[in-house]
């Protein structure tokens, strides 16, 4: 066992399981994915700290607990088709790839999409497919999805993403009208036109930029207003 292996196991025990994440699939995936490979060489020593880290282009790799919380929110049992909006480093996509049958992930920033795709390929995640583009439009050619996870905060739940869910599918997304505050919500599709939503807690993410998100990374700095479906 390498030092990183030991630190990874300790991370899962003290940062994730201790905070209430119970999904055996998520815990096992977090024990397997080498987070140190998804950060810069100079940041590798901090890979298992209880905090986000910069990955360039003004973006971050999320705190490990948040990755686990969002993955658990999808209620995956194995073999599903999942869409991720906001590939970033590729770490969360790898975690999802350990559980789901196929993962489709979209990144707005070209340099991040290219780097994530390269690392995922090196690590053998052949079931994770990376595309550059506007994630708020989803990936209609591959819809419907059993789960959709959005790793950036939007002003509301994008209608396009809701309608790319399979019936019974779950969408996990941070929603809020402020830079400093969002609620992590889970939307479940009950039928063609019926959805229900529950609240998974307060979070803070970078802005979701796109046609059904913020028009710029600065627009989201405006005052709070109610979110909703």
In order of start, what are the domains of the chain with their CATH numbers? Answer: 51-221 (3.40.50.150)
Residue 215 has pLDDT above 90, yes or no: no
Q: How confident is the model at residue 216 (pLDDT cuts 50, 70, 90)?
A: confident
Q: Which residues are catalytic?
A: 62
HSE-up (13 A, CA, CB side) for residue 46: 14
Band of pLDDT at residue 44, cut at 50, 70 and 90: very high
């Amino acid at each position: 066992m390498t030092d990183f292996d030991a630190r990874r196991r300790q991370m899962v025990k003290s940062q994730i399981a201790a905070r209430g994440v119970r999904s055996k699939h998520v815990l096992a995936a977090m024990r397997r994915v080498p987070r140190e490979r998804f950060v810069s060489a100079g940041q590798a020593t901090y890979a298992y700290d209880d905090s986000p880290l910069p990955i360039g282009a003004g973006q971050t790799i999320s705190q490990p607990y948040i990755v686990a919380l969002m993955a658990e929110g999808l209620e995956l049992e194995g073999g599903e088709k999942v869409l991720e909006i906001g590939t970033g480093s590729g770490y969360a996509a790898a975690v999802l790839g350990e559980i789901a049958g196929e993962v489709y992930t979209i990144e707005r920033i070209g340099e991040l999409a290219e780097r994530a795709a390269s690392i995922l390929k090196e690590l053998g995640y052949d079931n994770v497919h990376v595309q550059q583009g506007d994630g708020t439009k989803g990936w209609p050619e591959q819809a419907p999805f059993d789960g959709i996870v959005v790793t950036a905060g939007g002003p509301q739940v994008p209608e396009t993403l809701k309608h790319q869910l399979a019936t019974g599918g779950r969408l996990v997304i941070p929603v809020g009208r402020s830079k400093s505050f969002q609620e992590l919500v889970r939307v479940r599709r009950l039928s063609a036109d019926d959805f229900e939503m529950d609240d998974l807690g307060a979070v803070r993410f970078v802005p979701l930029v796109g046609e059904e998100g913020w028009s710029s990374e600065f627009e989201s700095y405006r005052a709070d207003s109610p979110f909703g479906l």
